Structure 1
Amino acid sequence: MKLEYTGSEQVPLGKPDVWSFINDPQKVASCLPDVQQVTVHDDKNFDAVVSIGLGPVRGKFKFKITLEPQAGGDRMNVRINGGGFGSVVDLLAGADLIDNGDSTTTLDWDGSATMRGPIATVGGRVLDAQAQKLISGTFANVKTRMAGA
């Protein structure tokens, strides 16, 4: 099962501040919805345990997450691999940073997820909604956390 998403968030900070925030694994990890535990390994890699609810089934997914800043400071990619419930998730999300010229930055984001295993087989719309929540919720949380900074 392959899922794709796009969206946009306007952040009330200049591009250098946004770039600094999204290059900090601890700050990025704090933006994951329903995060239970984070282990930062270095300046680009961390693990996260996230609570997932798929209909009446609740559990935890464990993810290995890698920040992949692109040269020039205009795009950040985030690679997420892991799973739970006997299923595997491979997710690539990214955001283009656009300086709006008024001390705000737009994050034009996209994400695609591939899921394999029992959850992908039976999850259908519920799984699609959960993946959408994870991706869009993370970027919305980035905006909220930076606005409060």
Structure 2
Amino acid sequence: MKLSYNGQEKVQADPEKVWSFIKDPQKVASCLPDVQDVQIQDDKNMVATVGVAVGPVRGRFKFNIQLDPQPEQNKMLVRIRGGGLGSAVDLTASADITGQSDQTTLLDWQGEANVSGPAATVGGRVLDAQAKRLITTVFENMGKKMAEPS
């Protein structure tokens, strides 16, 4: 099953603070919902174990997450691969990062995921709603944490 999403998050922080945040795997990992464990591999790679509940499919999924910041193009790329319980997820996402005149930053994001296995068979609407909630929550969490005082 293939899923596509896009959206926009206005962050109450200037672009410099946004870049500092998204280049830090530990800070990015803190924005993932339902995380049970994170192992930082290096400055661009981490492994996250996440609690997943999609319809009757409930359990732990393990994801390899690769961050690819491209400040010269004002873009952040993220690649997530992994799964669990016989299901697999392959997600590619990006965000265009644009500073605004009011010292805020606009994140225009998009993502595309391929899901296979039992998680894909629970039904399009259930999986679609869960995936959209997950992605929206990550960007909302990032926005809140980036807006916090340093």
TM-score range, shorter chain: over 0.9
Structure 2 letter corresponding to 1:11: V
Tell me if structure 2 keeps the 8 A contact 1:10–1:107.
Answer: yes
The structural deviation recorded for 1:96 is 0.5
Tell me how far apart the structure 1 counterparts of residues 24 and 107 of structure 2 sit (CA, whole Å).
16
1:21 is matched with which residue?
A: 21
Tell me how far apart the structure 2 counterparts of residues 59 and 102 of structure 1 sit (CA, whole Å).
43
Q: RMSD across aligned C-alpha pairs, in angstroms?
A: 1.2
Tell me how far apart the structure 2 counterparts of residues 107 and 83 of structure 1 sit (CA, whole Å).
27
2:50 is matched with which residue?
A: 50
Aligned residues, how many? Answer: 149
The structural deviation recorded for 1:57 is 3.5
The structural deviation recorded for 1:31 is 0.3
Matched, 1:34 2:57: no
Alignment of 1:1-149 (within 5 A): 1-72=1-72, 74-149=74-149
Indicate the percent of aligned positions where both proteins have the same amino acid: 58
Tell me if structure 1 keeps the 8 A contact 2:10–2:105.
Answer: yes
1:59-97 residue CA offsets vs partner (Å, 9 max, x unmatched)? 111100000112505000110000012010000111110
Tell me how far apart the structure 2 counterparts of residues 148 and 123 of structure 1 sit (CA, whole Å).
38
Consecutive aligned runs of 4 or more in structure 1 exceeding 4 Å deviation: none
Question: Structure 1 stretches of 5 or more lacking a match?
Answer: none
Secondary structure of the residue aligned to 1:143 is helix
Tell me if structure 2 keeps the 8 A contact 1:93–1:109.
Answer: yes
Greater Cα offset, 52-61 or 134-143? 52-61
Greater Cα offset, 66-75 or 77-86? 66-75
Tell me how far apart the structure 1 counterparts of residues 73 and 27 of structure 2 sit (CA, whole Å).
17
Tell me if structure 1 keeps the 8 A contact 2:55–2:122.
Answer: no
Tell me if structure 1 keeps the 8 A contact 2:19–2:71.
Answer: no
Distance 1:56 1:119, change over 3 A: closer
Tell me how far apart the structure 1 counterparts of residues 136 and 119 of structure 2 sit (CA, whole Å).
20
